[in-house]
């Protein structure tokens, strides 16, 4: 599978996972779900049914399932040690969504943590690029030595 396609699958999986988090948070914050949770001491089963039948909860869980299916396609073609760090970008997107869409606070410590995640993903991306260059160079040297 082409590298561009694999990168697209990784990004799709990460975006779906981050979207799932945002949708689930909005769904769990809805008046209907909050009302059911407030009465959960009286009827835990009723609260579970309200949550399980909430359209936003169903949509969020569907995004998670689709993200997992796409991720399985990624794992079939990419080294785990290369692909998995990109999951960190999902954390970045989730924190950004919380701040920009939900109005959640963004203290400096959270901002520094997000920066560290981005820095780590960039470092891993650079190591993958240098690995590719090394493999290409090795292949060229092997071909040259056969001449």
| pLDDT the model gives residue 125 | 76
| pLDDT the model gives residue 143 | 52
| pLDDT the model gives residue 134 | 55
In the predicted model, residues of the chain with pLDDT beneath 50 are 137, 140-141, 144-145
| pLDDT the model gives residue 124 | 81
Among 96, 77, 82, 79, smallest CA distance to 15 is for: 96
Among 106, 77, 22, smallest CA distance to 14 is for: 22
- Please count the other Cβ atoms lying within 10 Å of the Cβ belonging to residue 16: 20
């Amino acid at each position: 599978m082409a590298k561009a396609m694999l990168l697209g699958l990784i990004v799709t999986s990460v975006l779906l996972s981050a979207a799932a988090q945002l949708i689930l948070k909005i769904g769990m914050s809805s008046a209907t779900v909050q009302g059911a949770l407030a009465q959960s001491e009286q009827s835990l089963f009723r609260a579970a049914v309200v949550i399980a039948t909430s359209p936003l909860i169903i949509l969020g869980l569907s995004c998670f399932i689709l993200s997992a299916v796409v991720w399985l396609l990624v794992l079939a073609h990419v080294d785990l040690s290369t692909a998995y760090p990109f999951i960190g970008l999902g954390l970045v997107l989730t924190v950004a969504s919380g701040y920009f869409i939900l109005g959640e606070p963004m203290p400096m410590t959270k901002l520094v943590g997000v920066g560290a995640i981005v820095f780590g993903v960039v470092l891993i991306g650079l190591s993958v690029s240098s690995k590719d260059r090394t493999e290409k160079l090795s292949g060229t040297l092997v071909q040259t030595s056969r001449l």
